[in-house]
Structure 1
Amino acid sequence: MARLLRLIQNEWMKLWSKKGTWVMTGLLILAILGMFGLTKWVNTMNNFDEQDWKTTVQGELTYSKEQLGNSTLVDGERERLEDKVKVLEYRLANSIEPLSDTSREGMIMSSSGIGSIAVLLTVIVAAGIVASEFTQGTIKMLLSRPVKRWKILTSKYVTVMLFGALLMLVGFIVSILGAFIFFQSGNGQELAWNGKEIVEVSVWGKGLYMLLLSFANVFVTATFAFMIGSVFRSSSLAIGLSLFIYFMGSTLVMLLAKYEVVKYIVFTHMDLTIYETDFRIVEGITMPFSIAVLAVYIVIFLSISYTTFIKRDITA
């Protein structure tokens, strides 16, 4: 274990010794601040009158009750709708306004968008961390050490995941700063049903929870890029395929939405934040089922990576 930790430390220091790593971190910061600034500008330019919040909540309540009449709802979806109805009824009965999406608190809670940027940058690192050893000709020197191959590969994989997690954390901190700089505090409250009563939801807790859910996309996509880079020794191929499935995955899911097989495709489950919204492309799936499917794919991707790396003969 001590040797593995030293390998991870060496890989981590090697990663941050590269100028490109710092550039990517800087791009993440600029991209988030740019998005916040653009959102503020768009809101300023749109001078339309906002609809009364009670009218909006009443519309959501009516729609949710209609959805509850759908006999095809699975238990998880029915429970979610029932909880939502209780919250909406509580708002109307007690005149508690929901937080605006463009309030300071609303922007902090919508931290899931950070993952969209972090996944692109993490994929670049995941795709090249093994493949670069082959392209630069350092793989022989790396494997000549008296260290088991699985430990070498594990140190690289852990480094990739730590990098992705760090990007998410940095992005969350920057988003908080952006929320305080560009947006004003809202007048409403975020509410939820805890199984016994309606309670106020912590803005910070909700923001971190959404951040954690969005990390699933980073985790799965980066693992796929890591596998392709390890097997085919090509970072460009790994980046290309990973970004293709990232951008085209939802399109494929929509095309196959009416078929049962779509429930077992990895693209269907990569965005866990949908379970905090009313948007569903595929009905009849729950978060535990999505997590289970993702876990299976992660095991498959890593099994291929380790088997290939451990058994491969280094001839160049």
Structure 2
Amino acid sequence: MSKFMGLLKNEYIKQLKKKSTLFIFVLVAVFAFGLAGLVKLTLLIDGDLDETKSRFTSYNYTDEIEAAKENKNDKHLEYLTYLQDNKINITNWKVELAQVKFDEELYSKTSLAYRASEGYDGDIKTLYGGFIENNDWKGYYEFLKTRIDNEDLIWAIDYRLDKDIAPEENSYADDADWRNSVLDTYVECMMQKEASFSDQQKQAYEDEALTAKYRLENDITVNIAGSSLTEMVSEDGGAQYETGGIEKQTLWNSFTSSTSVVSFIGMLIIVIAGGIIASEFSNGTIKFLLINPRTRGKILISKYVTVISIGYIMMILCYIFSLISSIIFFGTSDMGAMYIKTSAGVTKAVSGFTYIFEQYMLSSVYVVVMATFAFAISSVVKSSSLAIGLGIFAMSMGENAVQILKMAFNVDAGRYTIFANSNLQTIAQGQTLFPGQTLGFAIAVIVIHMAVFLLTAWDGFVRRDV
């Protein structure tokens, strides 16, 4: 063991003496540290968000009123004038009641207010008008309880009433209660679940609702997995909703994006892996290694361990630098944020730091596989440039090539390639290119490819002439 550790130490000394290796470490640190600044700058110059806030929080309907007058749409004109007079913006809880009051069916039929009004014997317009003008949100929610028999929706109403959480009049306000947004997500998902036709859609909505409920019950203000309702189109063309994005600007905005740096680290590790053996032969320094009483096998293993360990050291440095820079640019608010995601009715909740570390480790699998591929090429060729070039090309184009084969030519054999199985993050979430592709299958494919690469490296190095 001591002899092997001596070989390993020797490999580290050789690598760290190279200016290129030191440059790579500096590059990783700069890239990781600068990412938070880039995210911060992007958020500062993003005019779309400010425009959206301005549009959704304004109760000045002058332009819409003029358009309604030109179109001689008196009914819509009365509705818009009412909103403006009562200072009701689009995010105000009263807007749904006003839509029912003025028969704005195009907007109101999917709302809870419209659902509660169906079949009501009294004068619903007068009732809703009273709730609006008296700002009687509690009266409105008590009314909802008498008109709805869905236990999930009643739970949300009771939660709001018991906790005395008034619905927001401006969801974009700086002091807006995060619980309102999560309650809205919960209610929307439960209503969409009822309207869904496929079991897959029903499960997706229920999972999102359970995530929202978990946050409310455990008082979790920020969910790294996201909790803002955004529309997407499902495979069968129906409307779905899923959560995505972080609700407010915290250190998690940049820290979660730092996982993308792992792919960049992979490119840098391939440079080291592709040259660590080939350069020994091209420079003639392999002779100095072989005259020592060390077997070729141990020399090969020491080089491989050096490559992989340097890669993980870079990832750890990236994790640390990204966290530090995220704190510098975004502060320490919501340090206790969690990653919460529900799948098939089972809710996963882990610390944000743990989740991001898991993503680093899952992303590292592809890096290790491609570095091993470049290492194997380096053991059978004399040109380090060729080994590096093939490694980078495979890492950059492999997944794209498999996607083209599947999407353009429907070649199902691509499921057996390393490129279709290396992204364990998406496979674990069920987002696979090939149907029926499981995490166990992906791991098996990776193990087989790794065995082939390592055996190739072993055979190429041990039997190679000097």
Pairwise TM-score range, normalised by the shorter structure: 0.7 to 0.9
1:295 aligns with 2:447: yes
Q: For the Cα contact (< 8 Å) 1:228–1:234, is it kept in 2?
A: no
Q: How does 1:208-227 map to 2 (within 5 A)?
A: 208-227=357-376
Distance change in 2, residues 1:58/1:203 (3 Å): same
Distance 1:245 1:111, change over 3 A: same
Contact 1:112 1:213 in 2 (8 A): no
Deviation of 1:295 after TM superposition, in Å, equals 1.1
Which of residues 198, 211, 214 is equivalent to 1:87? 211
Q: Cα offset for 1:288?
A: 2.3
Q: SS of the residue aligned with 1:248?
A: helix
CA pair 182-283 structure 1, distance change in 2 beyond 3 A: farther
Shift of 1:58: 6.8
CA RMSD, 1 decimal: 3.3
For structure 2, the residue ranges without an aligned partner over 5 or more in a row are 57-170, 172-180, 225-244
Map of 1:75 onto structure 2: none
- Indicate how the Cα distance of structure 1 residues 58 and 290 shifts in structure 2: closer, same or farther if over 3 A, else same: farther
Contact kept, 8 Å, 2:416 with 2:445, in 1: the verdict is yes
1:164 has 2:294 as partner: no
Deviation at residue 183 of structure 1 after TM alignment: 2.2
In structure 1, what is the Cα distance between the partners aligned to 2:198 and 2:250? 30
1:284 and 1:141 map into 2 onto residues whose CA distance is: 51
1:165-244 matches, cutoff 5 A: 165-184=312-331, 185-186=333-334, 189-192=338-341, 198=347, 200-244=349-393
**TM-score, normalization by structure 2:** 0.59
- SS for the counterpart of 1:190 is strand
Structure 1 equivalent of residue 239 of structure 2: none
The match for 2:292 is 145
Q: Please say if residues 109 and 206 of structure 1, whose CA atoms lie closer than 8 Å, have aligned partners that are also in contact.
A: no
Q: Which residue is equivalent to 1:247? A: 396
Q: Which residue of 2 aligns with 1:18?
A: 18
Distance 1:262 1:151, change over 3 A: same
**In 2, Cα distance between equivalents of 1:199 and 1:16:** 41
Residue 261 of structure 1 corresponds to which residue in structure 2? 413
* Residue range with higher mean Cα deviation, 274-283 or 24-33: 274-283
Greater Rg, structure 1 or structure 2? 2
Amino acid at match of 2:457: S
Moved more, 95-104 or 147-156: 95-104
Structure 1 CA distance, aligned partners of 2:344 and 2:8? Answer: 43
Tell whether the 8 Å contact from 1:108 to 1:175 is kept in structure 2 after alignment: yes
Q: Secondary structure at the match of 2:388?
A: helix
Identity of aligned residues (%): 32
Aligned length: 307
List alignment gaps of at least 5 residues for structure 1.
72-77
Out of 102-111 and 174-183, give the one that drifted further: 102-111
Work out whether residues 187 and 209 of structure 2, in 8 Å CA contact, stay in contact via their aligned partners in 1: no
> Which residue identity does 1:248 align to in structure 2?
M
